């Protein structure tokens, strides 16, 4: 009889603890959206990174994720920490690819995707985006001995593209429009695409011009390859996060306005695109007037003056 009473008492205390713990958690998360409540409970922000998208998101010599997009995401994490009232939030880095990055955001595997992702209307049906962080477009990387630069010059040639990119779609559209009869090779990531071209298994590699320049710089292959042609697509980049979460969207927007009002965005840009990278390469890409105007608009919206 005493044993039964003891067990019941133990169960009772367990129920009390569970109810109390649940009530405390609910109180702590009160007023937070599902995404932010999940971050607060886990005490972690999951950041999706790319391994070979320099200078946006790539690995340094020690295998640590670094890059322009990742620094922007760290600034967003600072504002998330304020929103959830937890200055001790930590970051977990989650590797994503061009092909699985959008689904990773949709499924909640990452809270912020910090790579080189084009914010277009089709993708906005599934995910949300930060203010613009860069403007790029599809061009071709070719061996320096190649004389052609226009799409028509590559009729019947083999072009490598990275799976799940807007560049893959752009090249199929160009192929259909001009009847080029291109042969496509599809690879899982930009580094693999580069290696296919470098190995002589393709005549050109099509992706965003800045990523092509980054790969050439990283491989120190300026004497082997060059980026050619007119833009074949328009690709404004943004940080991806969960769609349908106005509170999280407001936090992301606030972080970018803070960076704009503090005049941090252009120095951050110059750190990754003009100065020498931590891995030793130099991109040497000055900020475009369009992106500079976008940054200025963030400053103006925060009440800044020029």
Q: Over the stretch 83-119, which tens digit does the pLDDT of each residue have?
A: 999 999 999 999 999 999 999 999 999 999 999 999 9
Structural domains of the chain ordered from first start: 35-135+235-301 (3.40.190.10), 138-228 (3.40.190.10)
Q: Show the low-confidence residues of the chain (pLDDT under 50).
A: 1-11, 13-27, 304-306
Distance CA(74)–CA(135), nearest Å, equals 21
- Token representation of residue 71: 């620094």
Contacts of 286 (CB under 8 A, 6+ apart): 273, 274
HSE-CB at 243 with a 13 A cutoff on CA atoms is 14
pLDDT of residue 29: 65
Lookup result for tokens 């893959």: 168
């Amino acid at each position: 009889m005493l044993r039964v009473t003891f067990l019941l008492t133990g169960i009772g205390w367990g129920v009390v603890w569970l109810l109390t713990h649940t009530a405390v958690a609910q109180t702590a998360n009160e007023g937070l959206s599902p995404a932010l409540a999940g971050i607060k409970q886990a005490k972690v922000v999951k950041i999706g990174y790319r391994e070979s998208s320099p200078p946006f998101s790539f690995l340094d010599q020690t295998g640590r994720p670094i890059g322009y997009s990742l620094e922007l995401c760290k600034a967003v994490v600072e504002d998330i920490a304020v929103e959830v009232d937890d200055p001790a939030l930590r970051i977990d880095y989650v590797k994503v690819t061009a092909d699985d990055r959008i689904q990773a955001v949709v499924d909640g595997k990452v809270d912020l995707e910090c790579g080189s992702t084009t914010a277009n209307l089709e993708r906005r049906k599934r995910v949300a985006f930060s203010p613009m962080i860069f403007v790029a477009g599809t061009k071709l990387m070719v061996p320096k001995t190649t004389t052609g630069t226009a799409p028509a010059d590559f009729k019947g040639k083999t072009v490598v593209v990275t799976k799940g990119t807007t560049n893959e779609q752009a090249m199929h559209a160009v192929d259909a429009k001009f009847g080029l009869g291109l042969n496509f090779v599809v690879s899982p990531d930009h580094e693999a695409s580069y290696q296919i071209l470098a190995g002589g298994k393709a005549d050109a590699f099509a992706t965003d011009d800045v990523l092509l320049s980054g790969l050439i710089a990283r491989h120190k292959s300026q004497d082997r390859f060059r980026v050619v042609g007119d833009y074949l697509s328009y690709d404004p980049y943004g940080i991806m996060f969960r769609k349908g979460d106005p509170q999280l969207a407001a936090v992301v927007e606030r972080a970018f306005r803070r960076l704009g009002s503090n005049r941090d965005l252009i120095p951050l840009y110059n750190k990754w695109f003009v100065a020498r990278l931590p891995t030793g390469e130099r991109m040497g890409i000055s900020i475009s007037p369009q992106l500079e105007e976008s940054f200025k608009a963030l400053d103006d919206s925060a009440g800044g003056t020029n």
